[in-house]
Chain A
């Protein structure tokens, strides 16, 4: 099918532009990953003064760089919590929105508004409420709720996109073949939608893991990782900051590769072409 038509000159101009854009996108990030392996005497900029894991070790020395291990495990746990809630609630809501029901558009607009709401506004509001009802803010209560207002709208929008391509006759066929509602959901709907659910999970996890303004006033006594990094930008002037950035990004990339990889494998096994 590939037609080897001659490419127009604009192709080469645009391809160069795209390459520069990718360099712009990834170049600086690459710089800090490299600099995080800076030797013990190295500074915040190039050149490299030797190569070492010194600054990664420094991360674990609490007095120098703050509570890295604590915030790291807190962030991961919170991200998993947000991920599970986001997948469950978005899938349920997505299924609900396939029918007309009273209040559907109100809920939809609330989700969209929640998406564009400045994060600190929300943080402030939730912080105030917890003060009013005299409950201490904590990462597993107020911060979890605050992050969900950000991840759920994304999850819902992805579910809309996923379900708009879902053929309802799959469900009718299942029912025709004797499946109960629960069996239809378990054996047909959820497995077919599974790649979409992974995408929702990826958003849920990473949006929480990197969330900053919404968490700021709701996290309570213990910091999450992004808050820790933010604090470090003003206090830490060593490559330890970059080391933290590298560690954080490794986790993000692991999540991305795991989810996109499994989506690709599922699509490949189903023999369908890759659809976006």
Chain B
């Protein structure tokens, strides 16, 4: 096979049956000379091209991928290429997050009569790929783990995170409990939090009887996003307690009709940040490599802007040092919908940063470092899919394509490529839907920083479509819509 030995590179082309495939045919009939690197796959419409086709090809060793369809306004199915344009442009802005050169992927429009144009498109693209050379493989990148175990300084939170005084907090919690008790008779259950296996860990609580409500807790240990549980209560009335950020997930679920507005009762209070247990572990400075269960304090008390840990060695930690990353840039401390018991929250001290810290770290890396970063991080992935199952927007659950044999997206191979590929599937399926609740990363038992991929995707969506998920129940997600003239998508000259 000359493909690997000769000077040819591996370029995959996905061509629309009605236009570009015909265009390539016309070029052939016209006997235009063309590069031979391209392997064409005919698809019914550019709208059929799942961005994962492209990613799978690139992760699998393709040196370049070209998608070509009918010109805008000229789609055989009227609108397929308009949707394709949004998806493919989103993908193009996402590829650098993986350390893949976005120039290795291009999409364009060629009609069936444009033999000459096809020749130009394919020659230009293949030449571009030749300039880039063989695509480097992620699994062969030098591992890169820049994050220090300790001492990584984080920017100050956007708001001066401070929980109300203990008395106020107790009074609000009691008020919340009252509301839940009153609503309980009409509901299957209400989902909240209670203390978990030690004083540092809360755990979800399913309140069915009035006495269950006594166990409800409120505070910075309520890390879980309970909206995740809502879709499983289909056709049953259920209540849920939310923080500000969690409420955005509920909005997103309502918007996508994954839960019925009549079937969900939302209770909430303003939040002043939740802890990142990993950060608590680091801040407590236990013995080298100790786990979070080794710091197990006897009790944890909230004291304004800090947490008091009682135990053998009492410690006070500042919230600003141990809160989850999402709390640093949080601008929705108060739930955006539902029955809000306590709506007072500290105001932002200034404008939000351009990017959350993990995304900034990823931005600062070179493409090669990013490949090394994901190689090093994904290596320890257990493929347990906690990231997926903790995600409030991952509603396919038992039918996820990550485990399906047909279509066969991922193999059972334990390698970095398969593991990363699932993370890309997750990020792509969340494009325009992710509210950055961070559950994927929090749930990861081996602490892989997978949230950064979603942050990258969200930034792409914001830049391209000026859209943020989970704010407006009546909004239309950007990838389920299109504009005939896209404001922020420029034609790529080929």
Q: Do A and B come from one complex?
A: no
